[in-house]
């Protein structure tokens, strides 16, 4: 099974290493899910804060963007700010988890704008 002269693989050591890696991955995922990311739109006129899990936790607007005659622009700015915040969360996951982050992107909001935040998707 092993090539001549090889000492084989220490399966117990391999399992322990895999366990440590799994624990580290889970810890990083939890930290990312609880972290907050802020996105802006309209030159900072609208600011949205989301968790790494995609939950919208804060939304701030400069009163000057609240025009009853132009609600559509305000809605567009809110969506853009939320997408920006979700993109930052996704980028953080990609940076901290590397290739493993690709497989769990959906849990952390997925690609920019595809997160589970109400009103951010189609």
Measure the CA angle with vertex 46, ends 32 and 83; round to 5°: 45
pTM of the model as a whole: 0.66
Q: Per residue in 27-75, pLDDT tens?
A: 888 888 899 999 999 999 999 999 998 899 999 999 999 999 999 999 9
Cα–Cα dist 29/69, whole Å = 43
Q: Which domains does the chain have, with CATH numbers?
A: 11-103 (3.30.1310.10)
Q: Per residue in 75-87, pLDDT tens?
A: 999 999 999 999 9
């Amino acid at each position: 099974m092993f090539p001549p002269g090889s000492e084989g693989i220490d399966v117990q050591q391999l399992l322990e290493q895999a366990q440590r890696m799994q624990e580290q991955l889970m810890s990083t995922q939890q930290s990312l899910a609880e972290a907050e990311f802020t996105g802006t739109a309209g030159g900072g006129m609208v600011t949205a804060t989301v968790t790494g899990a995609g939950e919208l936790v804060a939304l701030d607007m400069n009163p000057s963007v609240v025009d009853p005659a132009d609600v559509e622009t305000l809605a567009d700015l809110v969506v853009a700010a939320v997408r920006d915040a979700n993109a930052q969360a996704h980028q953080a996951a990609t940076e901290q988890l590397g290739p493993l982050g690709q497989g769990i992107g959906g849990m952390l909001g997925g690609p920019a704008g595809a997160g589970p935040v109400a009103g951010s998707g189609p």
